[in-house]
A and B are shown apart, each in its own frame.
Chain A
Amino acid sequence: MSVSHIPTRDAASARLVANRVLATLLCAGLLAAWLLPFATMSPNRLASGQTVGLSEALSAWQVFAFLALSAILAVAALRRPLPRELAHGVVLLASLGLLLITLYSLGDYAQRTLVEESPSARVSQGSAFWVMVFCCALAAIDAFQRAASGWLLRLGYMLIAGGSVAMLFASGHFDDLSIMREYANIRDNFADQFITHLVLVGSALGPALLIGVPLGLLAHRRVRLQGTLFSVLNFFQTIPSIALFALLVAPLSALGNAFPLLGEWGVKGIGAAPAIIALVMYALLPVVRNTYAGLKGVPPATVEAARGMGMTTRQVLWRVEIPLALPVMLSGLRIVTVQAIGLTVVAALIGAGGLGAFIFQGLGQYAIDLVLLGAIPTIVLAVIADFTLQMLVVLSKPAGTRR
């Protein structure tokens, strides 16, 4: 009796709740808001501070907005009364609203508090803040998946969400937060390292494509080369990144010493040269593999028809093979870009600079804000790159095969 009872109850709750992911996220977010600290306040940069709960940190209207948006999300998770399609739209708007309220409240709390406290006091975000931000993002991603929405809608949503957050930052709303004060201290250096990071990623991707795409083409044309090529590239991929960076130091410094001209060009044991070489080596496998897979995916009959019509080998490549292989090739580029943005952090260890510099510096000083100043922009960069290239993959699908 009791055994058969369980599925019945399950079925009943399934009838009531249509979106279990959303329900779980909402529970997690509310639980965190209730139990975990929303912010911490400390007397100075390095001292540990006291925790502040959500109810303490938020003003009356913020609490009201927070509860109202949570209630809307709860209703959207239910099977009734909202029709499914409408519910997805409601989730997208409400989770964005909740995200903005969370961000705004934190900045607002910092502003209100620090008027009363000493100038050296610091307000930082607490664990509840992170959980709430995370839950809002996941709820939106899940809603997009469920709605099977088109890329244009996603792009619009991302622009609105990113734009509103950027405007909050630009207006100086967060300037009283600990992390932003840390940022104010290193503003110029931050801009330099950010650009260094982008330059490192860019100068690794360029050669990776220039070498990788022809290699992929070669692997496709010369079947016998495939085995050797892929095992060499696979081998690179298995070397841990720190080890590879370290391994390159000795030969490159030797090279730079032996040929002073090369040294003048920047070929040295530490710095950008080993970083870029290592990044290229890691990027090669995905680029070659996806180029090869993309070309292999072109139906042989299509290629034969193209040849039979009188296209030259080059025309077959540019008019038929590459257009049809492009989506797969671009998804290789997507993997490689996201990977390179992450690996470049490690390159800071061998003096290449980039956002990783802040992370390692912060770790050395136990300054968590400095670590976050390196980590958060890295994550944002990776997300933006991933999203942009995902759009490109969709757009590059030949119109005839795009769905």
Chain B
Amino acid sequence: MIELQGLTKRYGETRVVDDISLTVEQGEFCVLIGPSGCGKSTTLKMINRLIAHSEGKILVGGEDITTLPPERLRRRIGYAIQSIGLFPHWRVADNIATVPKLLKWPSSRIAERVDELLALFQLDDEGLHDKYPHQLSGGQAQRVGVARALAADPDVLLMDEPFGAVDPLTRDTLQAELARVHRQTGKTIVFVTHDMDEALRLASRVALLNAGQLVQYDRPAELLVAPANDFVRDFIGRADLGLKLLSRRRVEEYCRPAQRTRNNAIASAPITWQVDANDRPMALLGGRLGESETARTVVNPEWTATPDMSMKEALSRMVWFRVTALPVLDGEGRLLGEVTMAGVMGHRP
């Protein structure tokens, strides 16, 4: 979908982007990441020609971008930046309608599309349609920014640190929402960030840049288990490499059958779950650090796991509640299986 071939940007003698080649496939979520000044933002802006490249070639949908007038190219590519990029003198609806208006869509189609996008970003029930950007919360403004980028239904979406200026809680929500929108729309996204957790959470592929050069371009898991060199390891955070890896894994991958019993007398295995008539876990027999092997611990909803929980969170719960196993529950609270400390350790990354 997007192909960078030997892409280079020179300012005088300095090469801020140096011979980068990579391909972003259709529907891929590619995150460009690296330290400040590594050229990630420059690379992104060369794709929609906000910055002209010095050498190399950029193909979007198989077409060399220099064959199109820049405005035509940009109207085909969604572009989102931090919320200050919203036009302060236009209402939310007008902001979202920017590109469709430039493309001279009929007004009924524009109105329809705006409503569709407001619904997609759950902005429809708050009367936001006619508000001005300064009346929005940070999270709302950011969602309007992404909705605006998607307005003309572009195949490609470029995002330049869009969540850089929002608080961590809002950022978390926005990331989840963007992941959902990506799943729903199947857009090809190129996303710039300097936050490794954000990259690992959202990316289907990560391009790690340093000093203008592409250091590694891989799936997030590969980046974690097979870092190309020390720079990659350092940038990911050598100290919590293992935790980063676990944050990419889900509980269901580690879940294994649990040993059950209906009475509290006998533990038939080192870790046994006492369940009620509906197969809901009531207590853990054994498996508590510092207690005897038959100690009974009543199951607390805070130290249970669900299949789609990240393994990092599951491990964190085990550590916090000092248990070596968590029951994995389905939607009705029935015991699906268990994840154990030994299981975390035994699993090959």
By a beta-carbon cutoff of 8 Å, the part of chain A in contact with chain B is 299, 301-302, 304-312, 315, 320, 323-324, 398-401
Given the known inter-chain contacts A308-B74, A310-B72, A315-B102, please indicate yes or no for A302 contacting B48, CB distance below 8 A.
no
Given the known inter-chain contacts A302-B84, A310-B75, please indicate yes or no for A400 contacting B133, CB distance below 8 A.
yes
B79, B102, B132, B135: the one contacting A305 at CB < 8 Å is B79
B61 at the interface (CB under 8 A from A): no
* Bound CA–CA A282/B134 (angstroms): 38
Contact A398 B88 (CB under 8 A): yes
- CB neighbours (8 Å) of B81 from chain A are 301, 304-305, 308
- CB neighbours (8 Å) of A307 from chain B are 50, 74
- B84 closest partner in A (C-beta): A301
B99 at the interface (CB under 8 A from A): yes
Given the known inter-chain contacts A398-B89, A400-B90, A400-B134, please indicate yes or no for A301 contacting B72, CB distance below 8 A.
no
Contact B132 A304 (CB under 8 A): no
- A313 closest partner in B (C-beta): B71
Contact B87 A306 (CB under 8 A): yes
Contact B84 A299 (CB under 8 A): yes
Contact B98 A309 (CB under 8 A): yes
Contact A312 B85 (CB under 8 A): no
- List 6 A-B residue pairs with CB atoms under 8 Å apart, sorted by A's residue number: A307-B74, A309-B74, A310-B72, A310-B102, A320-B87, A400-B133
Would you give the shortest CB distance from B98 to chain A, in whole angstroms?
A: 5
B82, B91, B148, B158: the one contacting A301 at CB < 8 Å is B82
Closest A-B pairs by Cβ, 5 of them: A398-B89, A400-B132, A305-B85, A310-B75, A310-B74
Contact B90 A309 (CB under 8 A): no
By a beta-carbon cutoff of 8 Å, the part of chain B in contact with chain A is 48, 50, 71-75, 79, 81-82, 84-91, 98-99, 102, 132-135, 148, 158
- CB neighbours (8 Å) of A306 from chain B are 87
- A312 closest partner in B (C-beta): B71
Contact B71 A311 (CB under 8 A): yes
Would you give the shortest CB distance from A319 to chain B, in whole angstroms?
A: 8
- CB neighbours (8 Å) of B88 from chain A are 302, 324, 398, 400-401
- CB neighbours (8 Å) of A323 from chain B are 89
What 7 additional pairs, Cβ within 8 angstroms, besides A305-B87, A308-B48? A308-B74, A309-B79, A310-B72, A311-B71, A323-B89, A398-B89, A400-B89
- CB neighbours (8 Å) of A320 from chain B are 87
* Bound CA–CA A217/B113 (angstroms): 36
- A397 closest partner in B (C-beta): B89
The dominant DSSP class at the A interface is helix
The CB with the most chain B CB atoms within 10 A, among A301, A309, A312, A324, is that of A309
* Bound CA–CA A306/B240 (angstroms): 40
Would you give the shortest CB distance from B200 to chain A, in whole angstroms?
A: 26
Contact A399 B132 (CB under 8 A): yes
* Bound CA–CA A299/B81 (angstroms): 13
- B102 closest partner in A (C-beta): A310
- CB neighbours (8 Å) of A305 from chain B are 79, 81, 85-87
- B45 closest partner in A (C-beta): A308
- B145 closest partner in A (C-beta): A305
Given the known inter-chain contacts A308-B50, A309-B79, A400-B133, please indicate yes or no for A302 contacting B87, CB distance below 8 A.
yes
Would you give the shortest CB distance from B35 to chain A, in whole angstroms?
A: 22
* Bound CA–CA A299/B134 (angstroms): 14
- A400 closest partner in B (C-beta): B132
- CB neighbours (8 Å) of A400 from chain B are 88-91, 132-135
Contact B89 A310 (CB under 8 A): no
Would you give the shortest CB distance from B233 to chain A, in whole angstroms?
A: 34
* Bound CA–CA A399/B74 (angstroms): 28
- CB neighbours (8 Å) of B84 from chain A are 299, 301-302
* Bound CA–CA A398/B135 (angstroms): 14
- CB neighbours (8 Å) of B71 from chain A are 310-312
Given the known inter-chain contacts A400-B91, A400-B133, please indicate yes or no for A302 contacting B85, CB distance below 8 A.
yes
Contact B75 A309 (CB under 8 A): yes
The CB with the most chain B CB atoms within 10 A, among A302, A307, A308, A398, is that of A308
Given the known inter-chain contacts A309-B79, A312-B71, please indicate yes or no for A304 contacting B85, CB distance below 8 A.
yes
The CB with the most chain B CB atoms within 10 A, among A301, A307, A400, is that of A400
- A308 closest partner in B (C-beta): B79
* Bound CA–CA A401/B127 (angstroms): 19
- CB neighbours (8 Å) of B86 from chain A are 302, 305
- CB neighbours (8 Å) of B91 from chain A are 400
Would you give the shortest CB distance from B329 to chain A, in whole angstroms?
A: 45
* Bound CA–CA A309/B48 (angstroms): 9
* Bound CA–CA A366/B89 (angstroms): 56
Would you give the shortest CB distance from B97 to chain A, in whole angstroms?
A: 11
* Bound CA–CA A334/B71 (angstroms): 37
- CB neighbours (8 Å) of B82 from chain A are 301
